[in-house]
Amino acid sequence: MTVMIETKPKIVVPYLYIWDVADSSKEWAEVSEHVEFIRYKMSTREDFIQFLQTSEIQGFWVAEEFFTVLGNPSDYWDYFPDSLKVILVPWVGCDFIDGKRLRSEKNITLCNIGPHAASNVSDLAVFLVLSCFRMTSYWEHCFRIVENGDIESCKQYIGGSLQDNKEMSLSKGKNEEYVYRFPTKPESSFTNIAENYTVGGKIMDSPTNKNVLILGFGSIGQTIGKRLKFGLDMNIFYYKRSGPVARDVLNYDATYCTSLKEEETWRIADVIILSLPSDDSTSNLINDQTISMCKKGVRIINIGRGSCIDEDALIRGLDSGQVNSCGLDVYKNETAPIDNRLLRRWDVTLLPHIGSAVADIIHRQTVVTLENIKDIFIDGGSGIYVVN
């Protein structure tokens, strides 16, 4: 009698210096009884191609470190084995690979972690809203670096205009200087701060009762709206390509904007938050034309994808005062240092793409990725958080 030995589905988990999978969790142990996880130590592109051609893997667990070591997973498109059934992304954004083409040409499922990072990204969006209205990045730099902890000297900058800016320099190391523009104190002996409560011509204000336009209203956008509605009493306006979201789903009041071609949509916003994916329809959505349709002094925040903003247009808007301030956690090209013109601005809050960077995210994204694996390979489903 012949005994058939069941072969476990193989899922590759690449790593080199960083292991970002919670393999000590009970969920990992449970799924490991039915699935073989292959820990693949990355080396060269050629070695990985050979691995793909000979391994008969059925799942590819994408690691963030993969992009640094071996490049974009889509670069290996032609080498994906016929056995590959699913690409597992343990975060939200999947724009590094064409999901529709992946399905139509190779019948490969693309899964992410769905809404499970929404809370953390929304935290950061609220922080950036506060920073852009209250100019907290400017104040901290002024207090720490420029005025060396002198509170009264810091307050003397209030009332300055756009013209009250000058070049300053900081030492970057041996024989190197970092040159940037920074507000100066008003030169007049009399300053009417009742009329000009500004620094460097940029107004400091409260976000309370202001209008926020959220572009992209999926799980992250909706959670941002909830935080701003109940936390800061803001008025929520939003645009969503698929149409309005029912009030009983949101559990708060929000106004749906029907078109981004109408000036009225842009003009109503005191702050615009981008929570959008990267595709042809969102590329450079913030540009000279859309900025010109906004009210003067609008604030712009991006926690979605860097491709959504024309950074040249943004800088022109900041220079003219059409854009009061902005907060960015994502950028055009994150494989290289970001534009120096953004780095050297005092009216911009910059973060290094840390939207979901919190202590428990590794465990959470591992568990959700395992849920996708369990549904596909153990329960015979098609995946829980399917992107394509």
Q: Known catalytic residues? A: 305, 334, 353
Residue 233 corresponds to which tokens in the numbers above? 């009493």
Please identify which residue in the block is written with the tokens 């960077």.
357
Half-sphere exposure of 314 (CA within 13 A, CB side): 26
Question: How many other C-beta atoms lie within 10 A of the C-beta of residue 287?
Answer: 16
Q: Among residues 128, 136, 299, 126, which one has the least CA distance to residue 228?
A: 126
